[in-house]
Amino acid sequence: MNQDKEVLLSLKDLQITFGDGKSKFVAVDDVNLEIFKGETFSLVGESGSGKTTIGRAILGINPTSNGDIIFENKKINKKLSANERKDVTRRIQMIFQDPQASLNERATINYIISEGLYNFHLFDSEEDRLEKVTKMIEEVGLLPEHLYRYPHEFSGGQRQRIGIARALVMEPDLIVADEPISALDVSIRAQVLNLLKKFQREEDLTYLFIAHDLSVVRFISDRIAVIRAGRILEVAETEELFLNPLHPYTRALLSAVPVPDPVLAKKKELIVYDPAMHHYETDKPKFVEIKPGHFIYANEAEQEGYHDYLAKKGM
């Protein structure tokens, strides 16, 4: 991993299981990754791949069965004191996928954004609280008078802006953004992504951006991890992953990205990933650095093939 950048969050040999005995299900297995301070790290995979499960484990919602979640050099997937857990909860916030379901329909926007401030006593006076909330609602592109309305009075894009304001008013270090634009119209998605990038520049925020669409994360990500069936298969910087996708599953995901030009779309070859082609018995795979900053889950035979492929491309 890059030694020149400060690691904010790392996952080491992470495993998450549900159920017991014969009904035990391994949702996430042997996940290792690092997220650097100030970057947007995207976790991409199809539905049921375990990406949201990982995000919820980081927030302490899902228990882990093995491995470590380390935030600023401190393990957080263990029993923490009340003050320690409170500090982690404030510093790691989440933006949810469905802006309608994640907002209390009976509460005003003023209360929704202020709830964390109340719970963590992050204001000096009522005047200070209102000033913080008003400033935040304006930062996300809404108006102060919107504070006294209810969620049902807003569009999907506006509700997501409220969700962003609720997370950012806590002044977090890390935000887990769980498919924050998938429920929005295409015309609104770019606005929300630009808003997230704006706050990152101004506040030096770090994002774990969870998505199923590689074309979306290309715009916002510094690095991307591809996950399937609870296991990370490939990690690389964004342009490196798009220019030199190595794992067959990554190539399949990229081939599924829609092409707006109908002529080019007809010529595009759809790649279908067959997991049966990657059944390991003796030559077991492991997560290795195939070239600087580019990691892949492969056995020795596959590693040789990837090295040959990169050599032919002059890399």
Q: What is the mean pLDDT of the chain?
A: 90
What is the per-residue pLDDT across 57-85, written as a single tens digit (0 to 9) for each?
999 999 999 999 999 999 999 999 999 99
Nearest residue to 182 via CA among 195, 193, 168, 198 = 193
What is the per-residue pLDDT across 125-150, written as a single tens digit (0 to 9) for each?
999 999 999 999 999 999 999 999 99
Average pLDDT over residues 101-109: 92
C-alpha 1/C-alpha 236 separation (Å) is: 11
pLDDT at 8 over 90: yes
| pLDDT at residue 311 in the model | 87
pLDDT at 262 over 90: no
Report yes or no: 95 and 177 within 8 Å, Cβ to Cβ. yes
Average pLDDT over residues 143-167: 94
Which whole-number Å values give the CA distances from 259 to 216, 229, 252, 293, in the listed order? 13, 26, 14, 28
| pLDDT at residue 271 in the model | 81
pLDDT at 278 over 80: no
Q: For the chain, list the domains and their CATH numbers.
A: 7-244 (3.40.50.300)
Sort residue 47 into left (φ over 0), alpha (ψ -120 to 50) or beta.
beta
| pLDDT at residue 289 in the model | 94
Tokens of 35: 């997220």
More confident residue, 68 or 306: 68
Average pLDDT over residues 24-52: 94
Residue whose structure tokens are 């997991």 = 275
Stated pTM of the model: 0.91
| pLDDT at residue 231 in the model | 95
* 286-291 sheet: strands from edge to edge: 92-95, 174-178, 206-211, 40-44, 223-228, 231-237, 294-298, 286-291
| pLDDT at residue 240 in the model | 95
More confident residue, 284 or 174: 174
Hey, what amino acid is at 282?
T
What is the per-residue pLDDT across 171-213, written as a single tens digit (0 to 9) for each?
999 999 998 888 788 788 888 888 999 999 999 999 999 998 8
